């Protein structure tokens, strides 16, 4: 049988519970789609076929016995940044090419506990450092809307897989836009929750004050379902926040009328592609028709978010990636002369160009004599940006604007100029700096390529931003569009 | 092309930055970071790190007197403490299965003391 791949995650979960089809049937169908498109899209690093089929069979037994969880038997994929016990976890790097995680990340364990079946690990920028999924040791991911273009990054494998309906939903992480930017470029829905909402335990660290796990799905309703199961307090993550997780699914139908929407003046700048802007403004008009009240707000320090990020993130990365030493796990160079040579060559050979660039940038800004001028200065400006957001949320419920300045760009177009690449995240980084929840939803097309609308809310307002996204998706059909050839 | 430089009035366009890092500086940063670079990598990082530092130099324009540095996105939360009890089991065999070289439960590295 075919056609299951066009069902949403919510529909598939309901169909499984109603015993309309089995998890084994579903898993086989999605595995076949993954296999058929791997050569074109390169969305996966590992496919866990046998394990998936065994878990699906167990899910079917649970469904038959009536002991099913919210996601029992539903196929999902994990970004290869999440540790999966007994399964290779590479983070897109040669450094971890042979690393088999000795434990499950909390996110993985929670989704497993809810009954979800993992089909594989998705491709990504090396150590999540990138905006195009081109820096992976396993080769670039391609955009299903046009294989000559990037899918965005760093969660490009998860985004391409969901957009091409190779999987109904996937986990992802977002340090500066790595969920929302690929969601926009692939025409799907992505949410980066509030910092501390989803456990970072077992999620390989890049920049610990910014990293946050989330999901990529076809719709806001699907995102609500997955996020409800993976969010929550975890004693193993010292920054996890002990606040109850609302039922995001039940909150989806929250009425939108009267919602105060702030349009970010700084996001509608000269860098925004005119066609992109047009799609976003059309989406805002839809919100107005739904009863939202739109006002313009200004966050004057927001334009400094990219420079702040490229001090803070590399600084934290240089510290986090110090653990890769060629001694305890990961890549080790051949015939080291002495201990320093072992460290330096293992790291020099095991890390790719962009990762080394960020480690060195971070090392420089943290080094004696430069710490105050760069790192401390960036943390002060981060405080100003945070204050801008706090002020804005004093008068509006959510902020809206574009997710990215342009639709997807060509593979190779920005690899030679890191700053041009970094500026892809110009509209997304602010939410990371302030730890805010933000979603990207598809809101139209420019020359056949999807465009994303971004909705940012105050801390722990996931239910509000998801219900606002859902209200839009109830009256539009952009989120149901599937790339040609993948329907 | 989209003129991002114009947007932020940042002079990051392709040009020689005023304070280009020297080969020696790159070599010293790489040594601090324990990264062995090939001869051909050094000029690449000389160029890109110089431009990145020039780009983040835009922060100088922000007025930050009396602004407290922000190190955590959820201010006000204090560090959580747990009771001082043993919570980890000895799983060294499982963890060391990922190590490049192990003997008798120890990680092997080149000789450090002659």
DSSP A376: I
- Which residues are CB-neighbours of A459 under 8 A, at least 6 positions away? A194, A435, A436, A437, B74
Question: What pLDDT digit, counting tens, does each position of A383-421 carry?
Answer: 999 999 999 999 999 999 999 999 999 999 998 889 989
A-B CB pairs within 8 A amount to: 197
> Which of B3, B8, B68 has its CB closest to that of A383?
B68
pLDDT at B15: 39
* B15 in reach of chain A (CB within 8 A): no
Is A478 a member of any domain?
no
What residue numbers bound the domain in which B27 lies? 1-62
B70–A386 C-beta distance less than 8 A: yes
pLDDT band at A252 (very low <50, low <70, confident <90, very high): very high
Closest alpha carbon within chain A to B34: A344
Q: With respect to residue A460, please indicate whether it lies within any of the assigned structural domains.
A: no
ipTM metric: 0.93
Q: What is the pLDDT, as a whole number, of residue B11?
A: 36
- For residue A321, what is the DSSP state? G
Tell me: pLDDT of B7 over 60: no
Mean pLDDT across chain A, nearest whole number? Answer: 97
* Mean pLDDT value across residues A214-224: 98
Measured between beta carbons, the chain A residues lying within 8 angstroms of B74 are 194-196, 239, 241, 435, 459
Q: Give me the pLDDT at residue A162, please.
A: 98
In chain A, the number of structural domains is 1
- In chain B, where do the E strands start and end? 102-103, 106-107
CA nearest neighbour of A330 among A317, A349, A313 = A349
Residue A413 CB partners (closer than 8 Å, separation 6+): none
Full strand arrangement of the beta sheet holding A212-217: A44-47, A117-122, A75-79, A169-174, A212-217, A189-192, A438-446, A449-456, A398-402, A260-264, A293-297
Q: What are phi and psi of A372, to 5 degrees?
A: -65, -45
Q: Treating both helix axes as pointing N-terminal to C-terminal, what angle do B41-56 and A353-366 enclose, rounded to 10 degrees?
A: 50
Put simply, the answer to whether A379 touches B70 (Cβ < 8 Å) is: yes
Domain region containing A142: 4-252
pTM for the whole structure: 0.96
- Residue B56 within any structural domain of the chain: yes
So what's the pLDDT on residue B9?
39
% of residues, chain A, pLDDT over 70: 100
Instruction: Write down the pLDDT at residue A1.
Output: 44
CB under 8 Å to A311, separation ≥6 — which residues? A361, A365, A374, A375, A377, A378, B56, B59
d(CA B49, CA A222): 41
Q: Does B34 touch chain A (CB under 8 A)?
A: yes
3-state secondary structure of A293: strand
Which residues, other chains included, contact A146 with Cβ-Cβ below 8 Å and sequence gap of 6+? A408, A448, A449
A23 catalytic residue (yes or no): no
Examine the residue annotation and report whether A467 is marked as an active-site residue of this protein. Answer: no
Query: Cβ A363–B72 below 8 Å, yes or no?
Result: no
Which of A81, A50, A51, A63 has the alpha carbon at shortest distance from A23? A63
A208 catalytically annotated: no
* B45 in a structural domain: yes
- How many domains does the structure of chain B reveal? 1
Does residue A268 register a pLDDT over 50?
A: yes
Q: What is the mean pLDDT of residues B20-33?
A: 96
Q: How many CB atoms lie within 10 A of CB B40?
A: 7
- In this structure, how many other beta carbons lie within 10 angstroms of the beta carbon of residue A327? 18
Q: Does B107 reach chain A within 8 Å, measured CB to CB?
A: yes
B27-55: per-residue pLDDT in tens?
999 999 999 999 999 999 999 999 999 99
Of B3, B34, B67, the CB nearest to A347: B34
**Phi and psi torsions of A422, nearest 5°:** -60, -30
Q: Is A360's CB within 8 Å of B26's CB?
A: yes
Residue A173: Cβ within 10 Å count: 26
Report the CATH number that the domain containing residue A236 is assigned in CATH: 3.90.1300.10
Note whether residue B57 is domain-resident.
yes
User: Is B33 in contact with A359 (Cβ distance < 8 A)?
Assistant: yes
> A338 vs B37: CB contact, 8 Å cut-off?
no
Contact A100 B97 (CB under 8 A): yes
pLDDT digits over A126-176, tens only? Answer: 999 999 999 999 999 999 999 999 999 999 999 999 999 999 999 999 999
C-alpha distances in Å from residue A413, one per residue of A43, A75, A261, B45, B51: 20, 34, 35, 19, 18
Q: Which residue on chain A is closest to B101 by alpha carbon?
A: A327
**Is the dihedral angle over the CA atoms A90, A91, A94, A99 positive or is it negative?**
negative
Tell me whether residue B75 is in a domain.
Answer: no
Residues of chain B found within 8 Å of residue A371, distances taken between Cβ atoms: none
- Tokens 């989209």 sit on residue: B2
Q: Of A22, A131, A154, A199, which one is the catalytic site residue?
A: A154
Best of B19, B56, B60, B111 to disrupt the A interface (most A CBs within 10 Å) is B56
Give the closest of B48, B70, B107 to A382, CB-based.
B70
Residue B106 lies in a domain: no
Q: What is the pLDDT of residue A51?
A: 98
**A356 and chain B: CB distance < 8 Å anywhere?**
yes
């Amino acid at each position: 049988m075919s056609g299951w791949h066009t069902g949403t995650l919510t529909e598939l979960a309901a169909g499984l519970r109603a015993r309309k089809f089995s998890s084994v049937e579903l898993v086989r169908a999605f595995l076949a789609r993954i296999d058929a498109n791997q050569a074109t899209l390169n969305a996966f690093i590992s496919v866990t076929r046998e394990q998936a089929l065994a878990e699906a069979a167990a899910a079917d037994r649970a469904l038959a016995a009536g002991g099913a969880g919210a996601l029992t038997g539903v196929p999902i994929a994990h970004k290869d940044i999440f540790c999966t016990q007994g399964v290779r976890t590479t983070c897109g790097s040669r450094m971890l090419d042979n690393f088999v995680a000795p434990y499950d990340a909390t996110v993985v364990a929670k989704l497993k506990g809810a009954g979800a079946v993992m089909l594989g690990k998705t491709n990504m920028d090396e150590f999540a450092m990138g905006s195009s999924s081109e820096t992976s040791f396993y080769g670039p991911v391609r955009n299903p809307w046009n294989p000559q273009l990037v899918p965005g990054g760093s969660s490009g494998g998860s985004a391409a897989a969901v957009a091409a309906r190779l999987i109904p939903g996937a986990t992802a992480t977002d340090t500066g836009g790595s969920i929302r930017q690929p969601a926009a470029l692939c025409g799907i829905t992505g949410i980066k929750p509030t910092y501390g909402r989803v456990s970072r335990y077992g999620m390989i660290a890049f920049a610990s004050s910014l990293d946050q796990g989330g999901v990529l799905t076809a719709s806001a309703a699907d995102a609500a379902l997955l996020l409800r199961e993976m969010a929550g307090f975890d004693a193993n993550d010292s920054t996890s926040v002990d606040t109850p997780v609302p039922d995001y699914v039940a909150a989806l139908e929250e009425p939108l009328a009267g919602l105060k929407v702030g349009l970010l003046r700084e996001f509608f700048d000269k860098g925004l592609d005119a066609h992109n802007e047009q799609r976003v403004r059309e989406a805002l008009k839809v919100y107005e028709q739904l009863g939202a009240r739109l006002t313009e707000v200004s966050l004057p320090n927001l334009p400094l978010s990219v420079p702040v990020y490229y001090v803070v993130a590399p600084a934290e990365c240089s510290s986090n990636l110090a653990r890769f030493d060629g001694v305890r796990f990961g890549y080790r160079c051949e015939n080291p002369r002495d201990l320093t040579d072992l460290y330096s060559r293992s790291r020099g050979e095991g890390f790719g160009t962009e990762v080394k660039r960020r480690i060195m940038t971070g090392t420089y800004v943290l080094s004696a004599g430069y710490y105050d001028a760069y790192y401390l200065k960036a943390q002060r400006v981060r405080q100003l940006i945070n204050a801008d957001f706090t002020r804005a949320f004093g008068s509006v419920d959510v902020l809206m604007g574009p997710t990215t300045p342009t639709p997807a760009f060509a593979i190779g177009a920005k690899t030679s100029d890191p700053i041009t690449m970094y500026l892809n995240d110009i509209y997304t980084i602010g939410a990371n700096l302030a730890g805010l929840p933000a979603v990207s939803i598809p809101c139209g097309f420019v020359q056949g390529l999807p465009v994303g609308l971004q909705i940012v809310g105050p801390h722990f307002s996931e239910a509000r931003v998801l219900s606002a996204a859902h209200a839009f998706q109830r009256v539009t059909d952009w989120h149901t569009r599937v790339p040609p050839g993948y329907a | 092309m989209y003129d991002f430089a114009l947007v932020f009035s940042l002079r990051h366009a392709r040009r020689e930055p005023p304070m280009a890092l020297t080969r020696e500086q790159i070599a010293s940063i790489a040594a601090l970071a324990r990264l062995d670079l090939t001869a051909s990598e050094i000029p690449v990082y000389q160029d890109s790190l110089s431009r990145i530092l020039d780009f983040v130099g835009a922060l100088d324009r922000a007025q930050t007197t009396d602004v407290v540095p922000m190190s955590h996105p959820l201010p006000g939360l204090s560090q959580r403490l747990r009771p001082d009890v043993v919570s980890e089991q000895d799983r060294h065999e499982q963890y060391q299965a990922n190590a490049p070289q192990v003997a008798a439960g120890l990680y092997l590295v080149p000789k450090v003391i002659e």
